A and B are shown apart, each in its own frame.
Chain A
Amino acid sequence: MMAILGVWVAVGLTLFMFSFLYKDNPFYKVGENLYVGITIGYSLVKLIFETWIPNVWRVVHPEAGVWFENHEWWLILPPLFLGSLILTRFVPKYAWLSRWTFAFVVGYGSGLAIPAVQKQAEATAHPLVTHIESFDSADKAATEAEKKATDLAASKGAGSDEAIKARIDADEYRERANAAKARKDAVSAAGARADKARAAANDARKQADEMAKKGPADSEEVHAAQKKATLAERAAIGAEMATWTAYSKSEYSVLTAWGDFTTIVLFIGVFSVLFYFFFSIEHKGPVKVFSRLGIIFLMIYFGASYGYTVMGRLSLLYGRLVILRDACYPSVGFATPVLLVAMITVLVVLHFQNKDKEENA
């Protein structure tokens, strides 16, 4: 019984809120006030039971004390003090005290935020043009360095500073040469993998097609086979792309050039957007051009973000509509249709009443 009542309430309130799309009306007002009241009550209760009682009350109430057992109960005092300072905002004479708390929070926040900016700057500072070292040249350099290190070790002793330094240098060169070799090897390995994956995908697809042709096209086996084929194709595409990526890392190719191009675009984007937000200079001449470019970058980003959000909003609407559909059945007493018809009737009556009033006036 309670469950059915719950469904009626959920459906009713959903319809009340949707009725706002038609226009402001008594149903919406009921929903609105209920919502505001419930949320205040809910957050208050949560605040008392989840924050106040465990973090503060139990500290001053030693019997219940979790903190007391840890001998660290006094740790609660600084935050409690800072927290209470916020309340001075309600006494204008002492309102300035709350700044201490805000200063603490802002300081804490910037301490964490500034390294993040640093990190972003670090990530943006890439070479704009990729230089790829070929294995041959890297190997040559490494061999030379190794020879030098061996010579030095022989002439000055293996433990001497110069010899150690030479050895470390040689190791570094060798590491680079090894990396170049690994890049080269990766291309052929990835190529072999891609060929294999493609063949497997083709087989799986063929099998699925044959099954669909033979048996009923809508059977579960066919669906499973089709899905298997799709997954295999996905794997094949992934492997092929991996080959391309490996190649672009081992030799300067179209893909590497494309990577460089995107790095340059990113660089210009960061630069021009930052320029747009300079407030101490007038935006004239070349600065204006650059800041206009910044705005264009921003707008492209906003457009993409907008599209994504439309998708999000539709999902939310979908979620509500599913609730409305699930309440269409006799098991819950036809909640949706009954409430919908009732609401529309009332709205129509109200509409005509208002019209009459207007005409009389």
Chain B
Amino acid sequence: MAPEPPKREEPPKKEAVAAPSAAAPSEMKRETKAETTKKEEKSVTNKITVGHVHMSGCTGCLVSLADNYGGLLKILDDYADLVYGLTLADVRHIPEMDVALVEGSVCIQDHESVEDIKTTRKKAKIVVALGACACYGNITRFARGGQHNQPQHESFVPIGDLIDVDVYIPACAPTPQMIRNVCVAAYLLLRGTEDQKTLAAKFLKPLMNAAKRGTTACFCDLMYEVINQGLCMGCGSCAAACPVRAITHEWGKPQGQRDLCIKCGACYNQCPRSWYSFDVMNEFEGILELIDGAMK
């Protein structure tokens, strides 16, 4: 049940071809080139529009998106048109878009950043906090300012402290596969068949709940909400998810070195006992095939 690829065989607009030929009738070869470009633009119409908004982050989240390699090209070819992104799209001001992927936390002393995040909320239908800094503050929680050349830039908050966020993609860095899965789900939600919309909504729900839950998550949340609540069964997911290897298992239960914890929320969100949707998980084989199919 792979989503139907957008039609790409639409004829190019005639005026566009006609205009240059009228101006310079001798340069016929260039016109052919212009035609090819037009074809690609035409297929954009069915795509969703996506922007990457860069707050205070290390660009690791963007690199993770790029680490889908061929998959990224597939996403940009068929599903999403990148309408905004520092270095990637030649657009100065944040435009209207379907999905804003926001990387990084917001420095509240940097008024431009504050304006940008507010604009993002106004211009985007769906705001996705991409990565742990945007979701939970992550490593920027430890910032104290004093650095050149803006020593007064010292306080950083997750974007959810300033605007409503729709979807979280936690972890430092978020994984290419997680970004891919959310991209496909977002596309199906906005452009898919009714069945695909329902499935995509179910898939995205836990990530929307995560966004509603709040702007803090670290190993402590695993303690408060899983271990202290009598829910941990020692599967090992948290230790596998931790990017700084701060979690080991003692007597079968997670033991976190809290000084190493960077507050990324990967352990908490990876844990099958933090949140778990039978609706989605029981369909795992079909959903994985759907994602596979969409990326082919």
A binds B: no
Chain A residues packing against B (C-beta within 8 Å): none
